[in-house]
């Protein structure tokens, strides 16, 4: 909690799709006390005044598909991170990643699986909440759940007599998947993360892993406990099964048809396109050079999936898969969203109000209005004209505490 009020005076304020010049924001403790023209706020005594000339104040940004326990694969391969980096080492790195995210203006993250680091995300969330370390508020998914023999490190690539950690908890059959859901929730997971497909085909093709009945049972178990479900689904069939099972969000969705996205819209399932992950993988392994190369086949597929979702009016949030690429550069996802058809206003809404609604916290996050949490970010210039301005972060506040002021 802050000891005094803070009066923030930016050039403009953006929230809920609207820009306002001449507004000031009054923060008391961890909440927004007032927002509007300076005259409407009245006399404010003994307040710290934060001037933000030539800057736009926005609600704190959110990235709802992150992996704080991963770092870019061109530094260390995914297998080597899971097999060779200890959980303690990965947790220390994750704390640095969390700080980088916050300083980049992302005040809330949903971390969708520790990828072999157990329930360290639950501990990281607690450490942030208790003020031991600096980072965004977190919603966490624990270990995530995969079908038996359908994830990595792939056993076929190693000695068959080796016993080594997997990147997620394995389950096979209805009883096991229900047990896995309950097991993870008992350890503090806020979300259930399911891998509805993976690269299990004879030649490494991505194919569905869980049956319709398995997915349905998992979703029912999670929903019975009051927790939502995120589904990793690259293929159209895995997306279809997940939607029919009642998941709350689809992650990736690169192969989704317009018909499947229409089903998502009808069922109220939100979409997190992770466009930057496709770009990063293409950079690392397929020779893609930004600004020089044509998009790779996988990037084109991801772009088409996004356009299909946009055309069908699906709820699209901001989820980047950061961790595959460098933490603190999450804004790359918003840049891709505008390149592929969103307006800057739409992209900003995806990263604020839409994401807040997906988390069920739309009354206190993703907006600038009295009573909301004082999660605020300022960017130089006007990101509603040029989304790249979000890279110029000048001010970060989370829960009324200032973490960056430049």
**Structure token pair of residue 208:** 């569905």
**Structure token pair of residue 157:** 């690539």
As a whole number of Å, the end-to-end CA separation of the chain is 22
Among 191, 195, 202, 286, which residue's Cα sits nearest to residue 234? 195
CA separation for the pair 206, 274 (Å, rounded): 17
CA separation for the pair 216, 174 (Å, rounded): 9
**pLDDT, position 3:** 58
CA separation for the pair 126, 115 (Å, rounded): 19
Task: Supply the angle between the helices 297-311 and 258-267 in degrees, to the nearest 10.
Answer: 50
Delimit the domains of the chain by residue range.
6-59+366-405, 61-358
CA separation for the pair 271, 291 (Å, rounded): 27
Which CATH number does the domain 61-358 belong to among 4.10.220.20, 3.20.20.140, 3.30.470.10, 3.50.50.60? Answer: 3.20.20.140
**pLDDT, position 156:** 86
Backbone angles phi, psi at 384, to 5 degrees: -75, -15
Write down the pTM of the prediction.
Answer: 0.97
CA separation for the pair 188, 297 (Å, rounded): 39
**Structure token pair of residue 32:** 């927004």
Beta-bridged to residue 198, according to DSSP, are 207
Asked if the domains 6-59+366-405 and 61-358 are classified in one and the same CATH topology, the answer is no
> Nearest 10 degrees: CA dihedral of 304, 238, 111, 315?
50
- Return the sign of the alpha-carbon dihedral for residues 221, 226, 231, 237: positive
**pLDDT, position 231:** 98
Backbone angles phi, psi at 250, to 5 degrees: -110, 130
**pLDDT, position 162:** 76
CA separation for the pair 322, 192 (Å, rounded): 19
Residue-wise pLDDT tens digits, 130-162 = 999 999 999 999 999 999 999 999 888 888 887
Q: What is the 3-state secondary structure (H, E, C) of the chain?
A: CCCCCEEEEEEEEEECCEEEECEEEEEECCEEEEEEEHHHHCCCCCCEEEEEEEEEEEECEEEEEECCCCCCCCCCCHHHHHHHCCHHHHHHHHHHHHHHHHHCCEEEEEECCCCCCCCHHHHHHHHHHCCCCCCCEEEECCCCEEECCCCCCCHHHCCCCCCCCCCCEEECCHHHHHHHHHHHHHCCCCCEEEECEEECCCCCCEEECCCHHHHHHHHHHHHHCCCCEEEEECCHHHHHHHHHHCCCEEEECCCCCHHHHHHHHHHCCEEECCHHHHHHHHHHHCCCCCCCCCCCHHHHHHHHHHHHHHHCCCCECCCCCECCCCCCCCHHHHHHHHHCCCCHHHHHHHHHHHHHHHCCCCCCCCCCCCCCECCEEEEECCCCCCHHHHHCEEEEEECCEEEEEC
Among 242, 233, 232, 243, which residue's Cα sits nearest to residue 267? 243
CATH 2.30.40.10 fits 6-59+366-405, yes or no: yes
Residue-wise pLDDT tens digits, 22-61 = 999 999 999 999 999 998 998 888 999 999 999 999 999 9
Residues in the chain, pLDDT under 70: 1-3
Among 104, 89, 62, 151, which residue's Cα sits nearest to residue 326? 104
**pLDDT, position 165:** 84
CA separation for the pair 77, 331 (Å, rounded): 23
**Structure token pair of residue 389:** 């301005």
């Amino acid at each position: 909690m802050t000891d005094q009020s803070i009066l923030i005076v930016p050039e403009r304020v953006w929230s809920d799709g609207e820009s306002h010049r001449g507004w000031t924001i009054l923060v008391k403790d961890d909440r927004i006390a007032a927002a509007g023209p300076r005259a409407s706020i009245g006399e404010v005594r003994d307040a710290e005044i934060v001037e933000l000339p030539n800057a736009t104040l926005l609600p704190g940004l959110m990235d709802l598909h992150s992996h704080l326990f991963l770092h870019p694969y061109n530094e260390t391969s995914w297998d080597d991170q899971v097999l060779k980096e200890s959980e303690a080492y990965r947790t220390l790195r994750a704390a640095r990643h969390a700080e980088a995210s916050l300083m980049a203006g992302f005040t809330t993250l949903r971390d969708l699986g520790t990828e072999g680091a157990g329930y360290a995300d639950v501990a990281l969330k607690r450490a942030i909440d208790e003020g031991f370390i600096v980072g965004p508020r977190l919603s966490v998914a624990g270990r995530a759940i995969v079908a038996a023999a359908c994830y990595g490190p792939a056993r076929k690539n190693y000695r068959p007599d080796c016993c080594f950690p997997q990147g997620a908890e394995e389950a096979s059959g209805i009883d096991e998947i229900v047990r896995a859901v309950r097991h993870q929730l008992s350890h503090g997971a806020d979300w259930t993360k399911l891998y509805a497909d993976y690269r299990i085909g004879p030649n490494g093709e991505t194919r569905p892993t869980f049956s319709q009945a398995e997915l349905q049972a998992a979703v029912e178990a999670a929903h019975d406990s009051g927790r939502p479900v995120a589904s990793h689904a690259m293929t159209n069939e895995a997306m279809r099964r997940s939607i029919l099972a009642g998941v709350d969000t689809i992650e990736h969705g690169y192969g989704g048809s317009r018909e499947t996205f229409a089903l998502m819209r009808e069922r109220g399932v939100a979409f997190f396109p992770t466009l930057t992950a496709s770009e990063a993988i293409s950079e690392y392994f397929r020779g893609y050079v930004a600004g020089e190369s044509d998009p790779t086949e996988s990037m084109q597929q991801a772009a088409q999936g996004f356009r299909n979702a946009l055309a069908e009016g699906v709820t699209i949030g901001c989820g980047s898969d950061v961790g595959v690429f460098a933490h603190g550069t999450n804004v790359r996802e918003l840049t891709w969203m505008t390149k592929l058809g969103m307006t800057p206003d739409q992209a900003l809404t995806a990263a604020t109000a839409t994401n807040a609604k997906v988390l069920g916290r739309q009354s206190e996050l993703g907006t600038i209005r009295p009573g909301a949490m004082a999660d605020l970010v300022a960017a130089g210039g006007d990101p509603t004209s040029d989304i790249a301005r979000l890279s110029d972060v000048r001010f970060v506040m989370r829960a009324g505490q200032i973490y960056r002021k430049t």
